Structure 1
């Protein structure tokens, strides 16, 4: 049901942000958050919740960008040199990556390729549609389905 609002929300955010590619990224992130929330409790007004989530992500992104512009680069460089993740965090990250790879391997080829072209190569939906020879709406559905599938599989494997 939420898939019905995808293009509408991308259009709204594109107009607001002035960048269709960034709007698609925000909508993907919003879908992931809403789908995670839906798994716990049903949402009474999913469209409104999806829109509010997406707008909150836009606001959060703007705040982060504003903070980054104020922070001197020297501080960021020095902080990065002293940060090293704990062995436990590295292991957890590696396990999560392996789970995502396993989940993606279970998907049909076009679905998996749509997701990877978007998330790894940063292609737009029309670029992916052209490359794979499918419609833009098929690409959108494949990406949302891939996110749902990965989320469900990881949740299942985490609880095992």
Structure 2
């Protein structure tokens, strides 16, 4: 039996059990997505495994993917609550237009942060939301200070690009003010 046949049989035999296992950690739809992603990663893996090790490896891939999703969700929730608290503490009385504009700006910023690659996003959140120093981030994540600085620089660049893209899309969607004679 070749490796493709082994993979196909593992996928066929493990699909239901894998999704059930993932549903202990994630909602049903996400469990199915993670299972599909795990199958893809298993297929793309260049590891040569004995047939009896393929299924445990698949479950390990799926577990790691699920944990990554859960960590990402935790960062998003923490970021949202921190921004909400800062907003509440600002205490400024604003008009309805200002409130709507600020809410839109915060939504765009959160979308920009969530669009970042995972490690870049985590560094960005530690620095900009949790106000950790470069040294603290380096120690927390086990990366060099230079890497922290690179991720922050990249994160700022990605935020600017995302916001600029949104602004340009908004301008493009505005009705034209030119009069046709």
Give the TM-score, by structure 1 length: 0.47
Give the TM-score, by structure 2 length: 0.42
Q: Which has the higher contact order (CA 8 A, sep 6+)?
A: 1
Structure showing greater Rg: 2
